[in-house]
Structure 1
């Protein structure tokens, strides 16, 4: 996709440990898949998304974790929510949006207090360690030790709960760290290295796979807002 021809992604973004909220115009994306649940709410117009092989259109579109999709709408005002499946059920996210009246600042505040899913304590320990990631490497053995598990037990725990490898969850956290650095003023190269990517090209490839567009197209028109 030609990023320079992709309108959208102009607005505000709220980043939290387990969710991300955007109030922006939409931009088209290539087909992609990511770990987070996603909710798109058109503000004054329907949203159109290809989910799997089906085109979904309406005032609200729900996209479950790891469901391939591509955003087809562009240039319309939209509230977009990404949230970790380990923290929220998709139906609860739709309910939180409804309770907030689909108002971004109210939703950002509400999600901070919204009940999280109860997790296996071992999974919770591992997740807390992943969320504390910075540019330092996180060997699988160290993560398993945090949860008092063997590496094979840790992998089974994650795959059983998420159908997701530990490596992919760590990648999702590194993307969050890099995006926060870039939105705070760092160059893409600085942000990528600070989050543990080999270089900006590695970061760019990862963003394209997870979000269907380049980090420059995704972030250049967004303003970082404070959560809480």
Structure 2
């Protein structure tokens, strides 16, 4: 794949179930991730390839699990990633419109926005996933947390998210590693602390999920935690 070297300069605001990027855009290879994504151009329009179609506009919404690539380069943009377990995509678009291109207003809007009601068993499993550390988290342990069998847990996840337990755990490990790397930890140490086998495993996962190498994605972004 080609390496993308410019764009993605700015701040990343990291919350527990969403994050905001206030940055210039950089192009990416085609990729797929668990989060819903909304791109709000702060000047001009953004262009995105969704599957085989090209979309452009001041606001572009990308649903969870949708293959896509960022085409725009250097466009000032507010980018929102949010977990489908917490938010519907239509609600995210509404929140972005209400914020009127103001990232602080959007952050406050999302903080107060009602989260999706979850099956209590799914909520317990999600709470355990968000408490990940470098130790392995087996499907059996997660199922025990939710008082379910492994097959029941998988059906619950696939029914609610069209996503396997393994892929949700991987998403959370990526969040942990990216937060550590943005805090100044080396990519290798961040990968190991988040439970990846090594930095190469982490790099492959980042590229599949975001269409970029970790160094390209992170080197010009500053971390700003959200309450």
Q: For this structure pair, what is the TM-score category when the shorter chain's length is used for normalisation?
A: over 0.9
Match of 1:55 in 2: 54
Question: What SS does structure 1 have at the residue aligned with 2:38?
Answer: strand
Question: What SS does structure 1 have at the residue aligned with 2:226?
Answer: coil
Give the TM-score taking structure 2 as reference length: 0.98
Q: Which runs of 4+ in 1 moved over 4 A?
A: none
Task: State the distance in 2 between where 1:113 and 1:227 align.
Answer: 13
* TM-aligned CA deviation for residue 224 of structure 1: 0.4
* TM-aligned CA deviation for residue 97 of structure 1: 0.9
Match of 1:97 in 2: 96
Match of 1:31 in 2: 30
Question: What SS does structure 2 have at the residue aligned with 1:155?
Answer: helix
Task: State the distance in 1 between where 2:219 and 2:108 align.
Answer: 25
Trace 1:1-228 onto structure 2 (pairs within 5 A): 1-3=1-3, 5-228=4-227
Task: State the distance in 1 between where 2:50 and 2:8 align.
Answer: 20
- Summarize deviations over 1:198-220 as a string: whole Å, max 9, x none: 00000000000000010111111
* TM-aligned CA deviation for residue 226 of structure 1: 2.4
Task: State the distance in 1 between where 2:110 and 2:39 align.
Answer: 16
* TM-aligned CA deviation for residue 109 of structure 1: 2.1
Question: What SS does structure 2 have at the residue aligned with 1:20?
Answer: strand
Question: What SS does structure 1 have at the residue aligned with 2:188?
Answer: helix
Tell me how many residue pairs correspond in the alignment: 227
Task: State the distance in 2 between where 1:25 and 1:51 align.
Answer: 20
* TM-aligned CA deviation for residue 34 of structure 1: 0.5
* Cα RMSD (Å): 0.9
Long gaps (5+) in structure 1: none
* TM-aligned CA deviation for residue 6 of structure 1: 2.7
* TM-aligned CA deviation for residue 177 of structure 1: 0.1
Question: What SS does structure 2 have at the residue aligned with 1:24?
Answer: strand
Long gaps (5+) in structure 2: none
**Mapped contact 1:109–1:227 kept (Cα < 8 A):** no
- Summarize deviations over 1:166-191 as a string: whole Å, max 9, x none: 00000000000000000000000010
Task: State the distance in 2 between where 1:113 and 1:220 align.
Answer: 31
**Mapped contact 1:64–1:90 kept (Cα < 8 A):** yes
